[in-house]
């Protein structure tokens, strides 16, 4: 099966390589190409067939279904793996929002809670909570965007360090909660629980807030199957999940993904299973049968982006 590991286009503008996307910057626009790279624990761990196409198609669905809440950067989807967006001044905060207490990474709400933390700055959690329990209301746990490692932030820190001016922070916080509510509502209609997610925002030339990058993808979000959630929780089981948790868990069990220089390769059957899950959640969210593109992906993208060459 074809896999897109990276791109190397000479005439699309200055290239920046992110965890998953190759980004080409032009004067007034930005070209985001989603590859099949799989990233967790601040590093690339594997290549997952169809992943880049899924991320782009899921984002396309959600951008379309949230544009009444906030304007987004989308100009065009010229290729199944590509979005062309308006350039803007990116805000230096990743807006993480959580509806449940869960997770396995060092910054996960459940891990911090297990260690005894109850006061998270903008909210306090009660004693006696169980893993994967629904929170009384969604909470914001923003982090820095442009630092080497994501640093947890609170409203107090954001305003004291002048990371954002108060009115922009207020606006972005409100928009984040509205987007998450819409995401949870539409996900539930499709038999899914949107557990947590993160958004990135920028300011356009008029200083207006704009949603950028991606939205409610299996990379930026955690999804569970809704119909089995309560029964599995009652049995002390993990919810049926459609994200990358099981591969994260495998790496956690077989190495120290934060410290080990060389990691074991991801098992082939797990890579295939994760690809299947990405495709399944894409179909479940969009309601459209997934058609994996054939042929040379990089060549196809190059042809589809000819009009954006500079």
Domains, the chain, in order of start with CATH, read 14-89+268-308 (3.30.200.20)
Stated length of the chain? 310
Q: Taking 90 as the threshold, does the pLDDT of residue 142 lie above it?
A: yes
Between 217 and 242, the more confident residue is 217
Write out pLDDT tens, residues 259-287. 999 999 999 999 999 999 999 999 999 99
Q: Taking 80 as the threshold, does the pLDDT of residue 1 lie above it?
A: no
pTM here is 0.93
For residues 32 and 18, give the distance between their C-alpha atoms in angstroms, rounded to a whole number. Answer: 10
The mean pLDDT of 49-58, rounded to a whole number, is 98
In sequence order, what are the residues at sequence separation of 6 or more whose Cβ sits closer than 8 angstroms to the Cβ of residue 189? none
Q: What integer best gives the mean pLDDT of the chain?
A: 96
2 contacts 297 by C-beta, under 8 angstroms: yes
Angle, helices 245-254/268-286, rounded to nearest 10 degrees: 160
In angstroms, the Cα distances linking 192 to 22, 185, 222, 272 are 29, 9, 10, 22
């Amino acid at each position: 099966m074809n896999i897109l590991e990276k791109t190397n286009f000479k005439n699309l503008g200055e290239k920046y390589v992110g965890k998953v996307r190759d980004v080409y910057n032009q004067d007034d626009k930005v070209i985001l190409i989603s590859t099949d790279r799989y990233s967790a624990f601040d590093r690339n761990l594997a290549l997952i067939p169809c992943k880049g196409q899924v991320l782009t198609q899921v984002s396309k669905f959600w951008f379309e279904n949230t544009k009444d809440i906030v304007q987004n950067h989308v100009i065009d989807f010229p290729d199944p793996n590509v979005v062309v967006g308006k350039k803007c001044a990116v805000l230096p905060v990743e807006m993480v929002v959580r509806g449940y207490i869960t997770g396995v990474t060092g910054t996960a709400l459940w891990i911090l809670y297990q260690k005894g933390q109850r006061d998270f700055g903008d909210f306090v959690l009660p004693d006696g909570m169980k893993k994967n329990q629904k929170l009384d209301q969604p909470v914001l746990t923003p982090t820095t965007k442009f630092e080497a490692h994501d640093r947890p932030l609170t409203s107090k820190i954001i305003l004291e360090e002048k990371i954002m001016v108060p009115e922009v922070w207020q606006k972005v916080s409100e928009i984040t909660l509205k987007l998450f509510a819409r995401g949870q509502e539409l996900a539930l209609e499709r038999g899914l629980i949107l557990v947590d997610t993160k958004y990135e925002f920028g300011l356009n030339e008029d200083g207006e807030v704009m949603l950028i990058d991606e939205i409610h993808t299996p990379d930026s979000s955690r999804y569970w199957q809704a119909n089995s959630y309560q029964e599995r929780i009652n049995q002390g089981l993990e919810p049926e999940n459609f994200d990358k948790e099981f591969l994260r868990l495998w790496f956690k069990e077989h190495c120290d993904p934060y410290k080990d220089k060389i990691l074991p390769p991801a098992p082939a059957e797990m890579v295939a299973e994760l690809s299947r899950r990405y495709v399944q959640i894409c179909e479940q969210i969009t309601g459209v049968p997934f058609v994996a593109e054939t042929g040379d992906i990089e060549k196809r993208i190059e042809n589809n982006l000819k009009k954006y060459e500079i």
